[in-house]
Amino acid sequence: MTRTSPTPVLFAALLSACAAPAGDYPSLLPRPIEKISLAEPVGPVPVATPDAGLDAKVAGLSRDVAGATRAFDTAVARARPTVQAAKGTGEGSERWLGAQVALAELDVARTAIDAPLGDLERLAIDRAAAGAPPYPALDTAVAQANAAAAAQRTAIATLNATLR
């Protein structure tokens, strides 16, 4: 009896698996809709037109912020010696109580910046809600007012930490 090698039979069976089926199957290539970009279209950057009325409001509110900052700085100069004198004294002592009063007065002085800052932010929000482009003078004034308010909170926290 002669033996035949199983290799040709196995090879033929494996090749038959590569044959294309007789059917109408969809292509795996990307469809036309899948080739569309969903990126936002790049358009011209809107430029804010000068607005004299808005400039006047921003200038007035910026003056209010500057005035509140000066008043706070004066209050810090008055409170600092009182707080320094209370450093190291026990809670409830006369100097400690005086420092607490000075810090409370500082907190009241700090609130003076809140009104003009809120008005500046309201102007910026109203412009954004109306779909108007950013106004550089307004954005700068808001940033400066926020920085001044943050500096005031930091000054109070620093003086308060002196008492501990």
pLDDT tens digits, one per residue of 32-45: 888 888 888 888 87
Whether the per-residue pLDDT at 18 is higher than 80: the answer is no
The answer to whether 114 and 108 have CB atoms below 8 angstroms apart is: no
Whether the per-residue pLDDT at 4 is higher than 90: the answer is no
What confidence category does residue 91 fall into, taking pLDDT thresholds of 50, 70 and 90? confident
The answer to whether 124 and 145 have CB atoms below 8 angstroms apart is: no
Whether the per-residue pLDDT at 13 is higher than 70: the answer is no
The answer to whether 76 and 160 have CB atoms below 8 angstroms apart is: no
Q: pTM, whole model, 2 decimals?
A: 0.70
